[in-house]
């Protein structure tokens, strides 16, 4: 290992006080390596030891932490145990430090609010009592169409408290995307807000939800938060204001309900490369123990720490930041709206103002900050930062080094971790080990993370392969919501016996791991995942195109930009004006974040002999890469036609 390659080394004091050090000592083991080894050979012991160290509260202790009688793909967790994650998220800090800030919120207009743990517990209790009066209880799915607010946190906790299942919806989704997910989940209620601010402009949310609920007879309650004082029509007998549900003069809130430890807490939809979005299913014990591991051990978060990580509750990052900070006894700092508005240096200003200890980022956000706020960083004291969590994308070296030096001051490590909506973290950095630029330190204990070839064989250093899990992990989705067969096909069928993450990775001779992007066609636009099918459906619904392929192409800021290649319907112009209308249709259906950067019109799309559109070839052609083997195509001339159109760049939508 060459010293010149190491960008950060943990000082002795940091290692000695790291949470992992405490956990290893409690287990009576000599070092981290010994812990990881025992976690693989004795998972029953490991997960029970982790639960004890985290202080996860079971109402009834499980008879078995893990049972594998049906194989690694179908584990049974916390068998016979009962719990409610509310107890572990709120209980300890509420008893020891009720006046500690649980959440600090800042709006784009400069408004601020701070709730203590006691405040959050009170608000969650009032709403939980109101939801119960509405007839909602264990197993009922409740959609969340909300911006990031203290009330969003309270509503999440309220649903956990009464046993409802939370269904997060991205606050930027259009009506079609909201409607689809509410229908697929059989949601019976939705919690929303009148609207929010984005780049200084009021954005109605209740109106979008009303459109999404047309024809939906199953949703019988809509709870509306009056957040921005916008004009908000209410549907009689269905819609009710938040303040009328969470009434301070109502019945005394009841304690958190005792539930089976594996009771479903969350259904989170994630987009795939084909078909409808997939609903990942997470449980009370699964979220509590895996997020506890990820946040407290991987990110080294301690009681009293403060996390600022721009995200949305509609993505898994919202769950991680909200529950994670609470499980650590820490404080979540929320910036509603856009990270670089109303001032380009909004984020560094908030870090300094609120003394943030953990600034969560991703390469896309880091590139935006470097471009827009790099010259303004000297205005702000960022010395409170001691760790920079990062997830969602592969880093480029230049941006990684810039963040390390200019945000972290060379002293705070960038703590990479990679996982996803379906499994929390698989590989991660932690504060115990040195780091190379863009690297991970390896698999998280309890996952059996590995990098393999198509046959499932571990790859040597320097070779790129699939990132997989060999072991059952408590944070993995318990299946796909009402789609058991698709669950197996999506994660366990590609390499039998291994969970395939969908990321490409490699390791070097010194044992450092690196990501190389997605191995499928799923796009990540500014950290938000979307499958091509949803975009293509929105375009085809216009009736102005007959075929379309949506792909992601590299973008210096967002990481990936959506580009669509389409065949115009008869009588349509196939020009820039039509392309702009198509891009607008995607934005209306799915949200402006997914508006295509370009729409290119061609006579035909490249297809296999089984008539499957080859998005891989579309993406390669648009980016000027070699198309590779064309022998499976029924129409190889389509690739050359696409290349000519791509070079001309005549069809930019602007």
- At 71, which CATH number? 3.40.50.12780
Query: Could you tell me the pLDDT band of residue 408, with boundaries at 50, 70 and 90?
Result: very high
Tell whether the model's pLDDT for residue 485 goes beyond 90: no
What tens digit of pLDDT does each residue of 359-386 get? 999 887 887 788 789 899 999 999 999 9
Q: Are residues 482 and 568 in the same domain?
A: no
- What DSSP string describes 523-559? EEETTEEE-HHHHHHHHHTTTSEEEEEEEEEEETTTE
Report the DSSP pairing between strands 165-168 and 141-145: parallel
Q: Is position 528 within any domain? A: yes
* Structural domain contains residue 538: yes
**Signed CA dihedral, 28, 30, 32, 38: sign only:** negative
Whether 613 is in a domain gets the answer yes
pLDDT value of residue 619: 87
Angstrom CA distances, 336 to 115, 251, 292, 376, stand at 15, 32, 25, 21
Q: Is the pLDDT of residue 274 over 50?
A: no
Do 472 and 556 have their domain in common? no
Q: Tell me: do 533 and 512 sit in the same domain.
A: no
pLDDT of residue 273: 43
Higher pLDDT, 91 or 260: 260
399 and 457 share one domain = yes
Q: What is the mean pLDDT of residues 151-160?
A: 98
Q: How confident is the model at residue 121 (pLDDT cuts 50, 70, 90)?
A: very high
The strand pair at 141-145 and 388-390 is best described as unpaired
More confident residue, 540 or 495: 495
Quick one: 460 and 538 in the same domain? Answer: no
pLDDT value of residue 3? 44
Q: What is the mean pLDDT of residues 297-315?
A: 94
Longest dimension (CA), the chain: 75
| pLDDT class of 271 with cuts at 50, 70, 90 | low
212, part of any domain: no
Question: What pLDDT score does 631 carry?
Answer: 46
- How confident is the model over 523-542, as pLDDT tens digits? 778 767 676 777 887 898 89
Query: Is residue 14 a part of any domain in this protein?
Result: yes
pLDDT for 653 beyond 70 = no
pLDDT band, residue 412 (cuts 50/70/90): very high
Statement to judge: residues 536 and 432 lie in one domain: no
CB-based burial label for 349 (10 Å; 0-12, 13-18, 19+): middle
pLDDT band (50, 70, 90) for residue 607: confident
For residues 94-119, average pLDDT: 96
Q: 515 falls in which pLDDT band (50, 70, 90)?
A: confident
My answer on whether 13 and 79 are in the same domain is yes
Domain boundary among 518, 549, 581: 518
Average pLDDT on 70-95 reads 96
Q: Which of 489, 518, 547 is the last residue of a domain?
A: 518
How confident is the model over 453-479, as a mean pLDDT?
A: 94
Q: Same structural domain for residues 575 and 430?
A: no
Q: Report helix, strand or coil for 207.
A: helix
**Residue 36's pLDDT is what?**
96
547 & 506 share domain = no
> Looking at residue 547, what is its pLDDT?
83
pLDDT value, residue 276: 78
Among the three residues 496, 518, 540, which one is the final residue of a domain in this structure? 518
The per-residue pLDDT of the chain, averaged, comes to: 91
* Whole-number pLDDT of residue 452: 96
CATH of the domain at 583: 3.30.300.30
For position 1, what pLDDT does the model report? Answer: 34
- Whether residues 393 and 490 share a domain: the answer is yes
Do 468 and 531 fall into the same domain? no
List the structure tokens of 63: 């008879």
Domain extent for 60 = 3-84+266-300+387-518
Half-sphere exposure of 269 (CA within 13 A, CB side): 28
Any domain includes 196: no
Under 8 Å between Cβ of 263 and 138: yes
Predicted pLDDT at 612: 65
Residue 649 pLDDT > 60, yes or no? Answer: no
Of the candidate ranges 43-57, 217-231, 622-636, the one whose mean pLDDT is the lowest: 622-636
The tally of domains found in the chain comes to 2
User: What share of the chain in percent tops pLDDT 90?
Assistant: 69
Q: Is pLDDT of 239 > 90?
A: yes
Domain for residue 194, yes or no?
no
434 and 559 in a common domain: no
325 lies in some domain = no
């Amino acid at each position: 290992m060459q010293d010149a390659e190491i960008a950060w080394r943990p000082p002795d004091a940091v290692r000695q006080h790291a949470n992992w050090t405490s956990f290893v000592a409690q287990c009576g083991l000599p070092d981290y390596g010994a812990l990881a080894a025992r976690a693989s050979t004795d998972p029953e012991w490991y997960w029970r030891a982790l639960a004890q160290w985290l202080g996860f509260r079971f109402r009834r202790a499980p008879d078995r932490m893990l049972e594998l009688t049906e194989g690694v793909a179908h584990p049974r967790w916390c068998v016979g145990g009962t719990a409610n994650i509310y107890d572990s998220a709120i209980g300890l800090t509420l008893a020891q430090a009720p006046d500690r800030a649980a959440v600090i919120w800042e709006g784009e207009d400069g408004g601020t609010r701070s709730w203590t743990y006691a405040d959050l517990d009170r608000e969650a209790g009032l709403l939980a009592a109101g939801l119960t009066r509405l007839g909602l209880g264990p197993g009922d799915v409740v959609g969340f169409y909300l911006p990031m607010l203290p009330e969003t946190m309270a509503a999440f906790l309220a649903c956990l408290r009464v046993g409802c299942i939370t269904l997060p919806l991205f606050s930027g989704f259009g009506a079609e995307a909201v409607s689809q997910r509410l229908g697929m989940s059989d949601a019976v209620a939705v919690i929303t807000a009148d609207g929010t601010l984005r780049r200084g402009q009021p954005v109605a949310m209740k109106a979008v939800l009303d459109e999404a609920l047309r024809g939906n007879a199953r949703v019988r309650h809509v709870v509306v938060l009056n957040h921005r004082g916008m004009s908000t029509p209410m549907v009689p007998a269905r819609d009710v204001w938040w303040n009328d549900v969470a009434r301070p003069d109502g019945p005394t809130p009841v304690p958190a309900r005792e539930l089976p430890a594996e009771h479903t807490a969350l259904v989170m939809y994630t987009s795939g490369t084909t078909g409808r979005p997939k609903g990942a299913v997470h449980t009370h014990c699964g979220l509590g123990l895996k997020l506890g591991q990820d946040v407290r051990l991987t990110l080294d978060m301690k009681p009293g720490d403060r996390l600022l990580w721009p995200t949305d509750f509609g993505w898994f990052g919202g769950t991680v930041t909200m529950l994670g900070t609470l499980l650590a006894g820490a404080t979540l700092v929320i910036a509603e709206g856009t990270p670089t508005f109303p001032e380009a240096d909004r984020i560094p200003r908030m870090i300094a103002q609120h003394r943030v200890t953990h600034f969560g980022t991703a390469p896309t956000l880091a590139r935006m900050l470097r471009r827009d706020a790099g010259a303004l960083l000297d205005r702000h004291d960022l010395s409170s930062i001691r760790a920079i969590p990062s997830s969602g994308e592969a880093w480029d070296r230049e941006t990684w080094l810039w963040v390390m030096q200019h945000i972290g001051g060379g002293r705070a490590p960038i703590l990479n971790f990679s996982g996803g909506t379906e499994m929390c973290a698989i590989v991660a950095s932690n504060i115990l080990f040195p780091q190379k630029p863009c690297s991970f330190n390896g698999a998280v204990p309890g996952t059996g993370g590995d990098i393999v070839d198509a046959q499932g064989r571990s790859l040597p250093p320097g070779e790129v392969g699939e990132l997989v899990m060999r072991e059952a992990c408590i944070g993995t989705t318990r299946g796909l919501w009402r789609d058991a067969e698709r669950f197996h096909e999506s994660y366990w069928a590609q390499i039998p016996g291994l969970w395939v993450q969908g990321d490409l990775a490699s390791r070097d001779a010194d044992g450092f791991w690196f990501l190389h992007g997605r191995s499928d066609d799923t796009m990540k636009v500014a950290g938000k995942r979307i499958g091509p099918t949803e975009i293509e459906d929105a375009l085809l619904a216009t009736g102005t195109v007959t075929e379309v392929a949506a792909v992601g192409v590299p973008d210096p800021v967002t990481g990936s930009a959506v580009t669509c290649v389409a065949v115009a319907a008869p009588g349509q112009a196939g020009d820039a004006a039509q392309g702009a209308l198509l891009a607008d249709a995607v934005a209306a259906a799915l949200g402006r974040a997914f508006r295509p950067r370009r729409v290119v019109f061609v006579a035909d799309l490249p297809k296999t002999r089984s008539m499957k559109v080859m998005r891989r070839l579309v993406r390669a052609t648009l980016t000027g890469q070699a198309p590779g083997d064309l022998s499976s195509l029924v129409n190889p001339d389509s690739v050359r036609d696409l290349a000519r159109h791509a070079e001309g760049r005549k069809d930019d939508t602007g």
